[in-house]
Amino acid sequence: MINNLLIDNVPISHFLIFSATLFVIGICGIMINKKSIINILFSIEIMLLSVNLNFIAFSKIWIDITGQIFSIFILTVAAAEAAIGLAILVLFFRNKSDISIDRIKKLKG
């Protein structure tokens, strides 16, 4: 009962500021770590989670379940993206013994 009251009293601006901060951290992670593919994948995941936080916050404020359903779909797509991306990296590492972005850029075909 007490925890539910604390969540209901948090203004939506706090959720939006936190979500925007997470999104900016994700963008900075992509821009700064251009050499590591795994860090880029993690940064994309952080950006997707910040979007999910927005959907859930607005869903809570507007008392509508649509945002939560979109959030579940985004989590599903993010999990599939991470699984496929890491599988491609494992295969690339087996063939080339390196997962440097410079070597991946040279791939053609």
Q: Considering its fold, how many domains does the chain have in total?
A: 1
Q: Does 54 reside within a domain? A: yes
- Tell me what pLDDT residue 90 has: 86
Residue 39 lies in a domain: yes
pLDDT value for 3 = 53
Q: Is residue 59 one of the residues assigned to a domain?
A: yes
Residue 7 counted as domain residue? no
1 in a domain, yes or no?
Answer: no
Q: Where residue 18 sits, what CATH number does that domain have?
A: 1.10.287.3510
**pLDDT digit of tens for each residue in the chain (109 aa)?**
455 545 578 888 999 999 999 999 999 999 998 888 888 889 999 999 999 999 999 998 888 999 999 999 999 999 998 899 889 888 888 877 777 776 666 666 5
Residue 63 CB coordination number (10 Å)? 6
Please report the pLDDT score of residue 101 as a whole number.
72
pLDDT of the residue at 104? 66
What is the reported pLDDT for 16?
A: 93
**How far is residue 27's CA from residue 29's CA, in Å, rounded to a whole number?**
5
* Contact indicator for 19, 53 with CB cutoff of 8 Å: yes
Q: What is the pLDDT of residue 88?
A: 84
Considering the domain boundaries, does residue 3 fall inside one?
A: no
Question: What is the DSSP annotation of 10-23?
Answer: S-HHHHHHHHHHHH
Assigned domain for 6 exists: no
Print the domain residue range for 38.
12-96
The answer to the question of residue 104 being in a domain is: no
Torsion 49-53-59-65 (CA) sign: positive
pLDDT, position 103: 67
Task: Fill in the DSSP letter of residue 81.
Answer: H
